[in-house]
Structure 1
Amino acid sequence: MSVTSTVTPAVWIGCLACYNAGRLTGDWFEAITADEVTPEKLHGHQTSHEELWCLDHEYLPIDGECSPHQAAKLARHLDEIDEYLLPAFLAWIGSGSHVLDGEDLPDHGEFIDRYCGHWDSFTQYAHQLAEDICLLADAPEHITRYFNWQSWTDDLQHEYTVLDAAEGGVYIFRDH
């Protein structure tokens, strides 16, 4: 299912010639098709103005302005993410801990490799990880009862990025 089925990234595209002349000429467009907007389409008639710019945006994980080409490229990139993974992907981008691909877009493959899921807490994740890797499987019970779970969990967390999820809980990403 695509991004546009739940959230539609949009940009306010304005004419820079008009803006520099003190007039706001522009409109909202779906970001995924922002690079298809022409000065004629924006003005509603033929014009000698050539340069368009996205002066505002909604649901794009960027700060500030961008070109219509950049907006469309990012929106198409987001549209490739499975809908259930999109909130985690956007959180990863927003954290600044994301990795860029060769086109300066957040790398889907790195996201999938690093994403450890949505958990109630990092502690819950750490306990499940310990079970999955059989951390104490061969240790005798009289030793495991003295294992310091809190210390181990605190140390482990230094290898992860843990981000609050809007719906509660946390998203967890391996740092390397």
Structure 2
Amino acid sequence: MDNNATAAQAVPYRADRPRLYVACLAAYNGGRLHGRWIDATEPDEVRAEVRAMLEASPEPDAEEWAIHDYEGFEGCTISEWASFDTVCGLAEFVKQHGRLGAQLYGHFGDSLDEARAAFDSHAGEFRSLGDFAEEIMRETGPEIPAALQYYIDWEAMGRDFELNGDVFTITLGYDEVHVFWKPKTVQSEAHRVLACPPLIFISCWAETVLSLSQNVKTLRPWLAKIRLTVE
């Protein structure tokens, strides 16, 4: 084994700096390991490090390289032949957004542009989809009468948001659910909520409660608002 490669692989990893192990293919094909760990900072800096690594190769006139390992990318997949522009852009994205950014990258099929754009539609972090549904309805929907409070299944409504294709989620852990509006629903929050199918279900629940409640005068104006919203 090339002593140079052994020393390079032993460089301590700094968690705040994603890095690559770039190998010399001429040496690799000749049965020797020669490469260098390189911090994924700026593409030009990485290229300069790769040129220096190839110049120091035990194989003369070495020109070809491949990414044989990487660390600090929070589980993202990097091709052996990925461009340094892409890798450095991904490293900066992961440094900024951590595991959430990495999972978004995977969610969009390793598309960095789509993962970046998704943050424009980030609805926030919630304990569950039910909490998201409740918050969004209370903030932008009609006021919910007290007589209806305990009849609403927020978790079911949250699932409806997702099943209807209005949102998608990234779950990072227990009680840590990030909700994103899907691109086709990117518009004002008020319009998204008022046009949302779950309100139709509230209307149906309200009809049922009306037949049982003594607060008919309170519920009828609220139901009228719901009907105007969904019609």
- TM-score tier by shorter-chain length is 0.7 to 0.9
> Which residue of the other structure, out of 71, 79, 86, is the alignment partner of 1:65?
79
Q: 1:132 to 1:81 in 2, by over 3 A?
A: farther
> Which residue of the other structure, out of 59, 68, 75, is the alignment partner of 2:88?
75
Q: Which amino acid aligns with 2:26?
A: A
Query: Residue 122 of structure 2 corresponds to which residue in structure 1?
Result: 115
Relative contact order (C-alpha < 8 Å, sep 6+): which is higher?
1
- Aligned pairs (5 A) from 1:29-68: 29-32=38-41, 33-44=45-56, 47-60=60-73, 62-67=76-81
Q: Deviations over 1:107-149 (max 9, x none)?
A: 4652222222222222111111111222x42x65545654443
Q: 1:10 to 1:82 in 2, by over 3 A?
A: closer
Q: Which amino acid aligns with 2:40?
A: A
Mapped contact 1:25–1:43 kept (Cα < 8 A):
no
Please state whether the residue corresponding to 1:24 is helix, strand or coil.
coil
Q: CA deviation at 1:171?
A: 1.7
Mapped contact 2:18–2:71 kept (Cα < 8 A):
yes
Q: Please identify runs of 4+ aligned residues in structure 1 that moved more than 6 A.
A: none
Please state whether the residue corresponding to 1:18 is helix, strand or coil.
helix
Between Structure 1 and Structure 2, how many residues are aligned? 163
Q: Say whether 1:7 aligns with 2:16.
A: yes
Query: Residue 217 of structure 2 corresponds to which residue in structure 1?
Result: none
Please state whether the residue corresponding to 1:17 is helix, strand or coil.
helix
Gaps of 5+ in 1: none
Mapped contact 2:23–2:34 kept (Cα < 8 A):
yes
The whole-number CA distance in structure 1 between the counterparts of 2:180 and 2:48 is: 35
Q: Say whether 1:97 aligns with 2:105.
A: no
> Which residue of the other structure, out of 161, 167, 172, is the alignment partner of 2:168?
161
Mapped contact 1:89–1:111 kept (Cα < 8 A):
no
> Which residue of the other structure, out of 86, 91, 100, is the alignment partner of 1:88?
100
Q: 1:35 to 1:155 in 2, by over 3 A?
A: same
Q: Which amino acid aligns with 2:64?
A: E
Please state whether the residue corresponding to 2:104 is helix, strand or coil.
helix
The whole-number CA distance in structure 1 between the counterparts of 2:93 and 2:158 is: 34
Q: Say whether 1:27 aligns with 2:36.
A: yes
- What is the Cα-based RMSD across aligned positions, in Å? 3.1
Mapped contact 1:98–1:107 kept (Cα < 8 A):
no
Q: 1:75 to 1:64 in 2, by over 3 A?
A: closer
Q: CA deviation at 1:153?
A: 2.0
Q: Say whether 1:152 aligns with 2:157.
A: yes
